[in-house]
């Protein structure tokens, strides 16, 4: 049983870029953020990435899934064991497949194993309850974004954009009583972000990413490919809505005939256009778009966003936050919400019919 009042929670996140595991501490009572604590990172080795990549799109029981889960559990246990002060831990796992209107959602890794190894309560399987009740199961960070807006002292609507493998955005009105209030948050996946260009760089140049957007800056985006991209049915669906990493696999196929620089330029421009198209759904204009995730380090992508968006586009570091750790911090915050019986998603974040408290808690020795 978690003690009353604020507690230090550890959250972890391993995103669709498959680079490694982030971990971060948050002091919270499940409603407010009271402090942001130490952070850590554990990279996946090349052989581990190969195992995970081989299991993308797979479901429980498929070949390769058990090996992927072992990689995820081992990496997380190594990193999480370094945080002695955590009273509860949030473990997201590694998303291998996400099909909320079909087979559901699949995050590799068993939180019960981690609870035994770490001898601490572990909250995990955050998405399944939402999906089972008709929600998209993603994105799950919006309630944290509301608390974060309060933490940085925001007084007017703003948006948080995370540019990982897939982009997701949360529109927040911090003037309302809480994230559960009607009109307080709206969230959805914008479209592909880093995943297509990362895959391109790996296939053509053996690199993990286009560092700083340097290659994209040398090329010219193909307008025909971009027009086809924006005609994808996803952009005509009303939010909330979510994506699997491979839902836009056709985008990489569309740039197959382009030179490296033009292909990178096209994929980078596509990520920015997806965000701009998504912003058309914001209930009211925002003064700031605060950007987290690896995409904020891509100067070419950030330049496109500054051109396309009618507001200031800033890395979250400009307001004193750590753009590499927001999602890990979110799952620390959500772990406490689960333990306190508070909702973690709702109609305006995942499209679920009512407020839902996701996640299950595993205790050591139980």
What mean pLDDT do residues 273-279 have?
A: 98
What is the structure's pLDDT at 100? 85
Predicted pLDDT at 102: 85
Q: How confident is the model at residue 222 (pLDDT cuts 50, 70, 90)?
A: very high
pLDDT in tens, 171-207: 999 999 999 999 999 999 999 999 999 999 999 999 9
Checking if the pLDDT of 16 tops 80, the result is: no
Q: What is the mean pLDDT of the chain?
A: 95
Torsion angle, CA of 68/195/298/141, rounded to 10 degrees? -70
Q: What is the pLDDT of residues 101-130, one digit of tens each?
A: 788 899 999 999 999 999 999 999 999 999
**pLDDT score of 76:** 98
Does the structure show a pLDDT above 80 at 245?
no
Token readout for 120 is 């601490």
Percentage with pLDDT > 90 across the chain: 90
Domains of the chain: 7-137+327-362 (3.30.420.40), 153-319 (3.30.420.40)
Residue 150 has pLDDT above 80, yes or no: yes
Q: Evaluate if residue 2 carries a pLDDT over 90.
A: no
Give pLDDT tens digits for 291-340: 999 999 999 999 999 999 999 999 999 999 999 999 999 999 999 999 99
Structure tokens at 323: 């753009």
Give the pLDDT confidence score for residue 65 in this predicted structure: 97
Does pLDDT of 283 surpass 90? yes
| pLDDT tier at 246, thresholds 50, 70, 90 | confident
Of residues 151, 130, 263, the one with CA closest to residue 205: 263
> By percentage, how much of the chain surpasses pLDDT 70?
100
Listed residue (126, 35, 25) closest to 80, CA to CA:
25
Position 121 scores a pLDDT of 98
């Amino acid at each position: 049983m978690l003690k009353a009042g604020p507690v230090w929670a550890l959250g972890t996140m391993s995103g669709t870029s498959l680079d490694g595991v982030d971990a971060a501490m948050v002091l919270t009572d499940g409603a407010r953020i009271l402090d942001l604590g130490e952070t850590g990172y554990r990279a996946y080795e090349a052989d581990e990435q190969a195992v995970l990549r081989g299991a993308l799109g797979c479901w429980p029981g498929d070949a390769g899934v058990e090996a992927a889960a072992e990689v995820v559990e081992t990496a997380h246990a190594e990193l999480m064991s370094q945080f002695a002060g955590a009273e509860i831990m949030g473990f997201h796992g590694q998303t291998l497949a996400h099909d909320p209107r079909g087979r559901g959602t699949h995050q590799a890794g068993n939180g019960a194993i981690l609870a035994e190894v770490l001898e601490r309560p572990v909250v995990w399987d955050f998405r399944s309850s939402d999906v089972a009740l008709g929600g998209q199961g993603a994105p799950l960070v919006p309630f944290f974004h509301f608390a974060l807006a309060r933490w940085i002292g925001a007084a007017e609507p703003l948006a948080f954009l995370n540019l990982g493998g897939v982009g997701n955005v949360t529109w927040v009105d911090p003037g309302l009583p809480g994230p559960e209030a009607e009109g307080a948050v709206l969230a959805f996946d914008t479209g592909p972000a880093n995943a297509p260009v990362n895959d391109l760089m790996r296939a053509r140049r053996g690199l993990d990413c286009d560092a700083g957007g340097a290659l994209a800056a040398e090329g010219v985006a193909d307008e025909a490919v971009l027009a086809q991209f924006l005609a994808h049915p996803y952009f005509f669906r009303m939010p909330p809505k979510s994506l699997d990493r491979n839902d836009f696999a056709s985008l990489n196929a569309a740039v197959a005939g382009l030179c490296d620089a033009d292909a990178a330029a096209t994929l980078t421009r596509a990520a920015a256009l997806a965000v701009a198209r998504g912003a058309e759904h914001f209930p009211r204009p925002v003064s700031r778009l605060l950007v987290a995730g690896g995409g904020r380090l891509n100067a070419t992508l950030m330049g496109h966003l500054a051109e396309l968006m009618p507001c200031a586009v800033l890395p979250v570091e400009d307001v004193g936050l750590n753009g590499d750790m927001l999602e890990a911090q979110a799952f620390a915050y959500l772990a406490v919400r689960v333990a306190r019986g508070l909702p973690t998603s709702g109609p305006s974040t995942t499209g679920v019919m009512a407020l839902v408290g996701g996640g299950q808690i595993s205790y050591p020795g139980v």
